[in-house]
Amino acid sequence: MKSDPALGDHLLAEWTASERDVKATGARRRQARLRALELRWEFEDGVEDASGEIDAIIEMAEHEHWPDVWHAGMYSALHRSRILDDGTLPAVIERLRIDAETSNDPTMLAIALGYRVTSRLTERDPSLAADADREIARATALLEEAEGEPVERVIGHNICAVAYGQRQLWELADEQYTAAEDLLTECESTRHSAVLLFNRAESQLDWACVLR
């Protein structure tokens, strides 16, 4: 039985079109993820409708079954709760932590753990110190093995550095700032570079004052 060249051409065209669709979807997904991360800055800057876009991108990620985009949206939602100071921050952090752990996203899990530590340590409860140290150590270990978006890893190292600083573990904080700065060359333009400069300078000033 002879093969039909026209059928082969048709199947090849279908496969090529399918491959293009997959690549286009992947590109759209990555752009949505980066946009979700960027929305935290727009909300902080008071951009109109930024809050609504955070909710919209989280809803879209749920509909598309894109957990990585959902995590990025929840990261911006976390900052929205922090700025509004409306009492929802612990619940948002916990939602992000649970889902990141369930879907095996080590970078976002590290970010959630880091923010949970920094938010709890503001309570100045000495009994939280041991739990905080365990969670920071776990977040640090997760980031050492993580292979996610460079900007997300920058975020993770930065929040771990802040947490170490709150515990006055200055050398460990400085190691995390170094790790974050080393990743900046892999990132697209991000305001985290300015955040790192400020946070590291503040940490080193506190460290110098303690030594003095």
Please tell me which residue, 22 or 119, carries the higher pLDDT value: 119
This prediction has a pTM of 0.84
- 25-45 confidence digits (pLDDT tens): 889 999 999 999 999 999 999
Residue ranges per domain, the chain?
Answer: 1-104, 105-212
pLDDT at residue 23 greater than cutoff 90: no
Contacts 24+ apart (CB under 8 A), 119-122: 119/82, 119/89, 119/90, 119/93, 121/163, 121/166, 121/167
pLDDT at 76 (0 to 100): 97
- 54-65 confidence digits (pLDDT tens): 999 999 999 999
Taking the alpha carbons of 104, 107, 108, 109 in that order, is the dihedral positive or negative?
Answer: positive
| Number of Cβ within a 10 Å radius of residue 170 | 18
